[in-house]
Amino acid sequence: MQRRVIFNGTALPLLLLAPQLAVTAVFFLWPAGVAVYQSVLQQDAWGLRTEFVGLRNFAEVFADPDWRAAAWNTALFSAAVAGLAMGAALVLAVQADKSIRGARAYRTLLIWPYAVAPAVAAVLWLFLFHPSIGLIGRALNANGIPWDTRLNGGQAMALVVLAAAWKQVSYNFIFFLAGLQAIPKSVLEAAAIDGARPVRRFWTVVFPLLSPTTFFLLVVNLVYAFFDTFGTIHALTGGGPGKATETLIYKAYVEGVQNTNLGSSAAQSVILMVIVVALTMVQFRFVERRVHY
Amino acid sequence: MLRRNLAALALAALAGFAPFWTSAARAQGGGGQPVELQFWHGLAQPLGGQLEGVVAAFNESQNRYRIVPTFRGSYPETMVAAIAAFRANAAPHLVQMFEVGTGTMMAAGRAVKPTHELLSEAGVQVDFSDYLPAVRGYFQTNDGRQMSMPFNSSTAVMYWNKDAFRRAGLDPETPPKTWRELEDAARKLKAAGVACPYTTSWPGWIQVEQVSSIHDQPLASLGNGFGGLGAELKVNNPLMVRHMDNLIRWQKEELFRYGGRDAAADGLFPNGECAIATLSAGARSRITREAKFQWGTAMLPYYDDVPGAPRNSIIGGASLWALNRGPQGGRSAEEWRGLAEFFRFVSQTDVAAKWHTDTGYVPLTRAAYEKVKASGYYAQTPGADVPIEQLLRGGEMTENTRGIRLGGYVEIRNIIQEEMEKAFQGQGSGQAALAAITTRGNQVLRNFERQSR
What Rg value do the Cα atoms of chain B yield, rounded? 23
More confident residue, B416 or B143: B416
Cβ separation of B86 and A153 shorter than 8 Å?
Answer: no
State how far the Cα of B37 lies from the Cα of B48, in Å rounded to an integer: 18
Kindly state whether residue B15 falls inside one of the protein's structural domains: no
Q: Do residue B180 and residue B305 come from a single domain?
A: yes
Cβ separation of B261 and A238 shorter than 8 Å?
Answer: yes
Option in A43, A238, A257 nearest B451 (CB): A43
Q: Do residue B49 and residue B128 come from a single domain?
A: yes
Beta-bridged to residue A43, according to DSSP, are A50
Residues 176-215 in A contacting B (C-alpha not used; CB under 8 Å): none
Option in A42, A43, A240 nearest B421 (CB): A240
Cβ separation of A46 and B327 shorter than 8 Å?
Answer: yes
- In angstroms, what separates the C-alpha of B82 from chain A's closest C-alpha? 9
Length of chain B: 453
Option in A44, A241, A258 nearest B411 (CB): A258
Confidence band of A240 (pLDDT split at 50, 70, 90): confident
Q: Do residue B332 and residue B222 come from a single domain?
A: no
State phi, psi for B321 to the nearest 5 degrees. -115, 130
Cβ separation of A48 and B109 shorter than 8 Å?
Answer: yes
State how far the Cα of B98 lies from the Cα of B262, in Å rounded to an integer: 13
State phi, psi for B219 to the nearest 5 degrees. -90, -30
State how far the Cα of A178 lies from the Cα of B371, in Å rounded to an integer: 74
- In angstroms, what separates the C-alpha of B112 from chain A's closest C-alpha? 10
Share of chain B above pLDDT 70, in %: 93
User: Residue B284 is which amino acid?
Assistant: R
Q: Do residue B189 and residue B281 come from a single domain?
A: yes
Q: Do residue B206 and residue B270 come from a single domain?
A: yes
What ipTM did this prediction achieve?
0.78
Pick the last residue of a domain from B374, B389, B406.
Answer: B374
Q: A–B: how many Cβ contacts below 8 A? A: 79
- Closest alpha carbon within chain A to B411: A259
| Residue range B128-137, pLDDT digits in tens | 999 999 999 9
Which strands sit side by side in the sheet containing B274-280, from one edge to the other?
A: B256-258, B196-200, B274-280, B156-161, B295-298
Q: Do residue B334 and residue B412 come from a single domain?
A: no
B250 pLDDT more than 90: yes
Residue B312 gets the label, from left (phi > 0), alpha (psi -120 to 50) or beta, of: beta
Closest of B285, B305, B308 to residue B297, by C-alpha = B285
Kindly state whether residue B19 falls inside one of the protein's structural domains: no
Kindly state whether residue B89 falls inside one of the protein's structural domains: yes
Option in B80, B260, B418 nearest A242 (CB): B418
State how far the Cα of A206 lies from the Cα of A213, in Å rounded to an integer: 11
Closest of B338, B354, B363 to residue B136, by C-alpha = B363
For residue A259, what are the CA distances in angstroms to A97, A290, B5, B233, B390? Answer: 49, 45, 44, 18, 31
Q: Do residue B138 and residue B41 come from a single domain?
A: yes
Q: Do residue B298 and residue B431 come from a single domain?
A: yes
Residue B135's Cβ-side half-sphere holds a number of Cα atoms within 13 Å equal to 29
| Residue range B379-417, pLDDT digits in tens | 998 899 999 999 999 888 999 999 999 999 999 999 999
Enclosing H/E stretch for A94: helix A65-97
Task: Quote the pLDDT of residue A291.
Answer: 59
Cβ separation of B87 and A46 shorter than 8 Å?
Answer: yes
Judge contact between A174 and A217, C-beta under 8 A: no
B145 pLDDT more than 70: yes
Beta strands in B141-294 (DSSP E): 149-154, 156-161, 196-200, 256-258, 274-280
Judge contact between B75 and B318, C-beta under 8 A: yes
Cβ separation of A242 and B425 shorter than 8 Å?
Answer: yes
Judge contact between B61 and B345, C-beta under 8 A: yes
Looking at residue B266, the DSSP 8-state letter turns out to be G
Of the candidate ranges A85-99, B55-69, B201-215, the one whose mean pLDDT is the lowest: A85-99
Pick the last residue of a domain from B374, B390, B407.
Answer: B374
Closest of B238, B157, B240 to residue B437, by C-alpha = B240
Closest of A169, A149, A175, A139 to residue A237, by C-alpha = A149
Confidence band of A2 (pLDDT split at 50, 70, 90): low
CATH classification at residue B350: 3.40.190.10
| Residue range B7-40, pLDDT digits in tens | 444 444 444 444 444 444 444 444 578 999 999 9
State how far the Cα of B168 lies from the Cα of B164, in Å rounded to an integer: 6
Closest of A34, A53, A33 to residue A43, by C-alpha = A53
Task: Quote the pLDDT of residue A271.
Answer: 94
Kindly state whether residue B9 falls inside one of the protein's structural domains: no
State how far the Cα of B156 lies from the Cα of B282, in Å rounded to an integer: 8
For residue A159, what are the CA distances in angstroms to A166, A242, A280, B306? Answer: 11, 15, 27, 43
Cβ separation of B259 and A150 shorter than 8 Å?
Answer: yes
Best probe of the B interface among A38, A149, A260, by most B CBs < 10 A, is: A260
Q: Do residue B341 and residue B424 come from a single domain?
A: no
Task: Quote the pLDDT of residue B363.
Answer: 92
Of the candidate ranges A118-132, A251-265, B63-77, B296-310, the one whose mean pLDDT is the lowest: A118-132
Looking at residue B132, the DSSP 8-state letter turns out to be -
Query: DSSP assignment of B299-336, as one string?
Result: PPPB-TTSTT---PPPPEEEEEEEE-SBTTB---HHHH
A219 pLDDT more than 50: yes
Is the minimum CB–CB distance between A47 and chain B shorter than 8 Å? yes
List of chain B residues whose C-beta atoms are within 8 Å of the C-beta of residue A132:
267-268, 271, 273
Confidence band of A56 (pLDDT split at 50, 70, 90): very high
Task: Quote the pLDDT of residue B395.
Answer: 85
A248 pLDDT more than 90: yes
With the CA atoms of B121, B126, B127 and B133 taken in that order, what torsion angle do they form, in degrees rounded to the nearest 10? -100
Kindly state whether residue B392 falls inside one of the protein's structural domains: no
Option in B258, B260, B425 nearest A153 (CB): B425
User: Total domain count for chain B?
Assistant: 2
Query: DSSP assignment of A178-239, as one string?
Result: HHHHTS-HHHHHHHHHTT--HHHHIIIIIHHHHHHHHHHHHHHHHHIIIIITHHHHHHHTTT
Average pLDDT in chain B: 90
List of chain A residues whose C-beta atoms are within 8 Å of the C-beta of residue B271:
132
Best probe of the A interface among B79, B415, B421, by most A CBs < 10 A, is: B421
State how far the Cα of B239 lies from the Cα of B433, in Å rounded to an integer: 14
Confidence band of A81 (pLDDT split at 50, 70, 90): very high
Task: Quote the pLDDT of residue A290.
Answer: 59
Q: Which residues fall within 8 angstroms of residue A124, CB to CB, at 6 or more apart? A: A116
Q: Do residue B365 and residue B409 come from a single domain?
A: no
Where b means 16+ CB within 10 Å and e means fewer, A203-222 reads eebbeebbbebbbebbbbbb
Task: Quote the pLDDT of residue B241.
Answer: 97
Q: Which residues fall within 8 angstroms of residue B356, CB to CB, at 6 or more apart? A: B362, B363, B364, B368, B369, B372
Residue B297 gets the label, from left (phi > 0), alpha (psi -120 to 50) or beta, of: beta
State how far the Cα of B437 lies from the Cα of B430, in Å rounded to an integer: 10
**Domain map (residue ranges) of chain A:** 55-290
Q: Do residue B300 and residue B184 come from a single domain?
A: yes
Average pLDDT in chain A: 87
| Options 3.40.50.720, 3.10.20.30, 1.10.3720.10, 3.90.230.10; CATH of A55-290 | 1.10.3720.10
State how far the Cα of B146 lies from the Cα of A263, in Å rounded to an integer: 32
Judge contact between A199 and A88, C-beta under 8 A: no
Kindly state whether residue B27 falls inside one of the protein's structural domains: no
State how far the Cα of A170 lies from the Cα of A191, in Å rounded to an integer: 30
Residue A102 gets the label, from left (phi > 0), alpha (psi -120 to 50) or beta, of: left
Residues 235-274 in A contacting B (C-alpha not used; CB under 8 Å): 238, 240-243, 254, 257-261
- In angstroms, what separates the C-alpha of A50 from chain B's closest C-alpha? 8
List of chain A residues whose C-beta atoms are within 8 Å of the C-beta of residue B419:
242
Closest of B203, B196, B233, B247 to residue B418, by C-alpha = B203
Task: Quote the pLDDT of residue B286.
Answer: 86
Confidence band of A287 (pLDDT split at 50, 70, 90): low
For residue A150, what are the CA distances in angstroms to A73, A164, B257, B258? Answer: 17, 18, 11, 8
Cβ separation of A44 and B327 shorter than 8 Å?
Answer: no
State how far the Cα of A255 lies from the Cα of B74, in Å rounded to an integer: 18
Q: Do residue B411 and residue B429 come from a single domain?
A: yes
For residue B385, what are the CA distances in angstroms to A278, B94, B283, B353, B378? Answer: 62, 30, 14, 13, 6
Residues 125-154 in A contacting B (C-alpha not used; CB under 8 Å): 132-133, 150-153
Q: Which residues fall within 8 angstroms of residue B245, CB to CB, at 6 or more apart? A: B429, B430, B431
Kindly state whether residue B296 falls inside one of the protein's structural domains: yes
Cβ separation of A241 and B110 shorter than 8 Å?
Answer: no
State the residue range of the domain holding B409: 156-313+398-451
Kindly state whether residue B145 falls inside one of the protein's structural domains: yes
Task: Quote the pLDDT of residue A69.
Answer: 93
Judge contact between B358 and B50, C-beta under 8 A: yes
- In angstroms, what separates the C-alpha of B267 from chain A's closest C-alpha? 10
Task: Quote the pLDDT of residue B20.
Answer: 42
| Distance in angstroms between the alpha carbons of the first and the last residue of chain A | 16
Task: Quote the pLDDT of residue A3.
Answer: 63
Judge contact between B126 and B341, C-beta under 8 A: no
- Closest alpha carbon within chain B to A262: B451
Enclosing H/E stretch for A125: helix A118-129
State how far the Cα of B18 lies from the Cα of B16, in Å rounded to an integer: 6
User: Residue B437 is which amino acid?
Assistant: I
Of the candidate ranges A137-151, B65-79, B346-360, B426-440, the one whose mean pLDDT is the lowest: A137-151
User: Residue B360 is which amino acid?
Assistant: G
**What would the mean pLDDT of A78-98 be, rounded to a whole number?**
92
